[in-house]
């Protein structure tokens, strides 16, 4: 089984932590203040991630045009790549970069 990292994995992890602190029904029915604060915090992270991605979806295609399309299949960008805001000039878009293993016969 292979594991693929997604920007949403951190959000899933946070949600699992929240559910570990309180049952979902207790949160909905007015559970502990700590559980409520953690839920609100997790939802704020989700909202911020969604807003960031919505505002910057064009940059994924731009990254493909600038790097993937002319790389002879040595750079690949997933459909849902990790994206990190850098500054007002741009952001980082996660990519897979192909690296050829050395030939074992050349090493001897």
pLDDT of 2: 42
Asked if residue 57 has pLDDT above 90, the reply is: no
pLDDT at 87 over 90: no
Q: Express each pLDDT in 58-86 by its tens digit.
A: 999 999 999 988 888 889 998 888 888 88
Name which residue leads in pLDDT, 49 or 6. 49
- Return the percentage of the chain with pLDDT > 90, whole number: 17
Query: Phi/psi class of residue 38: alpha, beta or left (left: φ > 0; alpha: ψ in -120 to 50)?
Result: alpha
Higher pLDDT: 92 or 16? It is 92
Query: Looking at the predicted structure, is the pLDDT value of residue 56 above 70?
Result: yes
pLDDT confidence of 7, banded at 50, 70, 90? low
Angstrom distances, CA of residue 72 to CA of 30, 59, 64, 96: 56, 21, 12, 13
pTM: 0.57
pLDDT value at residue 18: 63
């Amino acid at each position: 089984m292979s594991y693929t990292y997604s920007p949403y994995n951190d959000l899933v992890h946070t949600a699992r932590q929240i559910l570990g602190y309180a049952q979902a029904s207790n949160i909905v029915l007015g559970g502990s203040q700590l559980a409520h604060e953690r839920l609100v915090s997790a939802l704020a992270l989700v909202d911020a991630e969604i807003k960031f991605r919505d505002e910057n979806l064009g940059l994924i295609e731009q990254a493909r045009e600038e790097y993937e399309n002319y790389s002879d299949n040595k750079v690949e960008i997933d459909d849902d790549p990790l994206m990190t805001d850098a500054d007002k000039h741009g952001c980082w878009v996660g990519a897979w970069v192909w690296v050829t293993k050395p030939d074992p016969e050349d090493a001897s």
